[in-house]
Amino acid sequence: MFTGIIESVGTISSLTDLGDNYRLVVNVGKLDMADVHLGDSIATNGVCLTVVDMGQDYYAADVSSETIKHTAFADYRTNTQVNLEKAMRADSRFGGHIVSGHVDGVGAVERINKHTNYIEVWVKAPSEIAKYIAHKGSITVDGVSLTVNEVDGASFMLWLIPHTLQETVFGTYTAGSKVNLEVDVIARYLERLLQGDKAAEPTKKDISMEFLAQHGYLK
């Protein structure tokens, strides 16, 4: 579990195709690796990855082709910068919100409006997760816990202060940049709870000749 408070900006030093998966190596920047062990989790631009090799200034993780396909990792290359957060400790401050490190969808930066003391960023979310994004609710963007300041359909707006821009990869965003999105887990549970007893019912399948045969309707 994570909180969405970024500890360092790292840099991808290599991303190697191993056939069934990829080996990712990240230079961790200022991230303190003293208490990191093999098998620990590090959120990398919001994706929970398991450390399989490490040193004082780097870690390596295996990333499945499925993860590459369903996250912004598909666009990452050597020298891409990534937000880093170590897994939350039970005795640490809970500064953001509950973040699992499981990406719900990939959004795209629509536009960036610069103001005197902050920038306004509009992000377009995939339509299937738009219902989970609420005005003044929490959302995780590339691993960062943020507050939604405005919603317009599947698009939502964020205000980013100078500190956030300096301590995350947000300063590198341009229109069209792909971002990993994780909705608030509480919204997911509420949706399931509202289904009541129907939640226990199996998902309906499309009726086909094969389905009818399997259920004894055809001889």
Q: Which residue has the higher pLDDT, 200 or 48?
A: 48
- Tell me the per-residue pLDDT of 120-179, one tens digit each, with 9 for 90 and over: 999 999 999 999 999 999 999 999 999 999 999 999 999 999 999 999 999 999 999 999
Pairwise CA distance, residues 105 & 44, whole Å: 15
Q: How confident is the model at residue 194 (pLDDT cuts 50, 70, 90)?
A: confident
Pairwise CA distance, residues 151 & 123, whole Å: 10
Q: What is the pLDDT of residue 143?
A: 97
Q: What is the pLDDT of residue 15?
A: 93
What is the sign of the dihedral through the CA atoms of 166, 167, 170 and 172? Answer: positive
> Mean pLDDT across the stretch 190-199?
85
Q: What is the pLDDT of residue 56?
A: 95
Fold of 8-86: Elongation Factor Tu (Ef-tu); domain 3 (2.40.30)
Q: With 70 as the cut, is the pLDDT of residue 217 above it? A: no
Are 46 and 140 spatial neighbours (Cβ–Cβ below 8 Å)? yes
Q: With 80 as the cut, is the pLDDT of residue 45 above it? A: yes
Pairwise CA distance, residues 65 & 58, whole Å: 22
What CATH number labels 105-200? 2.40.30.20
Q: How confident is the model at residue 209 (pLDDT cuts 50, 70, 90)?
A: low
Q: With 90 as the cut, is the pLDDT of residue 219 above it? A: no
> Mean pLDDT across the stretch 66-86?
94
Q: What is the pLDDT of residue 214?
A: 65
Q: What is the pLDDT of residue 190?
A: 87
Pairwise CA distance, residues 155 & 147, whole Å: 14
> Mean pLDDT across the stretch 73-85?
96
Q: With 80 as the cut, is the pLDDT of residue 210 above it? A: no
Mean pLDDT of the chain: 91
- Tell me the per-residue pLDDT of 12-21, one tens digit each, with 9 for 90 and over: 999 998 888 9
Q: How confident is the model at residue 215 (pLDDT cuts 50, 70, 90)?
A: low
Q: With 90 as the cut, is the pLDDT of residue 205 above it? A: no
Are 117 and 126 spatial neighbours (Cβ–Cβ below 8 Å)? no
Q: How confident is the model at residue 113 (pLDDT cuts 50, 70, 90)?
A: very high
Q: What is the pLDDT of residue 196?
A: 86
Share of the chain above pLDDT 70, in %: 93
Residue 43 tokens read as: 């959120």
Which residue ranges does the chain devote to CATH 2.40.30.20? 8-86, 105-200
Pairwise CA distance, residues 116 & 132, whole Å: 31
